[in-house]
Structure 1
């Protein structure tokens, strides 16, 4: 297995952890995935600078925010900018008992630090049909 294959598997695991933390409304699990100085822009354009701001927002919206919903994340593409920095495109689909719903198209810049891939600069975007 190449280093690239191992990195893609590790990035895929971060994506799976984001999915798990959101579906199970686990803010702390979600927040562990970020660098301390991360940037996060929500699907509605709210800009959050630093893990503390991301944590404050997440702890307000995640508990109860997934009531009646599930979300699935699928890795679409990885562009390695450097061996330790990757631009990651993800497909995000929300579902309810009525079937598939809103779709998102997140773009996450991730950095490998101390052997871990961390969310660094992330933009969530709602897909408009």
Structure 2
């Protein structure tokens, strides 16, 4: 793609996904990785639109036993649709660290997560994320 240092931008997008994982339980840092109008569909199909709603939803989750449900993301593909917009496909692995959680408490232990990311003020941010459980 013209006008893009593909290697540097790919590395930057990979860092963004790694930071999302690293800061999933640090509300302020996690929110800083999203755009103001972010739209997230989580692992159980709940849609959250806008950073303010994401803040309230994530805060409530982190104050509950859901704080012990964590995930990782293994990037499979990054496609730049414009120099400042990319689509990221990754496999999400979910770990349920809650005590006494039934084995079927989550719809699956892994899923596909698709991020749409955009470069804002020289930093990559999440515009949209959609997770689809992989049914085994």
TM-score (structure 2 length as normaliser) = 0.81
Q: Which residue of 2 aligns with 1:18?
A: 20
User: Could you report, residue by residue, the CA deviation over 1:55-113 in whole angstroms, capped at 9, with x for unpaired residues?
Assistant: 1111111344242x55321111011111110011111112468xxx7112110100011
> What does residue range 40-79 of structure 1 map to in structure 2 within 5 Å?
40-63=40-63, 64-67=65-68, 70-79=70-79
Question: Judging changes above 3 Å, is the alpha-carbon distance between structure 1 residues 43 and 95 closer, same or farther for their aligned structure 2 residues?
Answer: closer
Q: Which residue of 1 aligns with 2:32?
A: 32
Number of residue pairs the alignment of both structures matches? 122
Which aligned segments of 4 or more residues in structure 1 are displaced greater than 4 angstroms?
none
Larger radius of gyration: 2
Unaligned runs of 5+ in 2: 98-107
Are 1:106 and 2:113 counterparts? yes
RMSD after superposition:
1.8
Unaligned runs of 5+ in 1: none
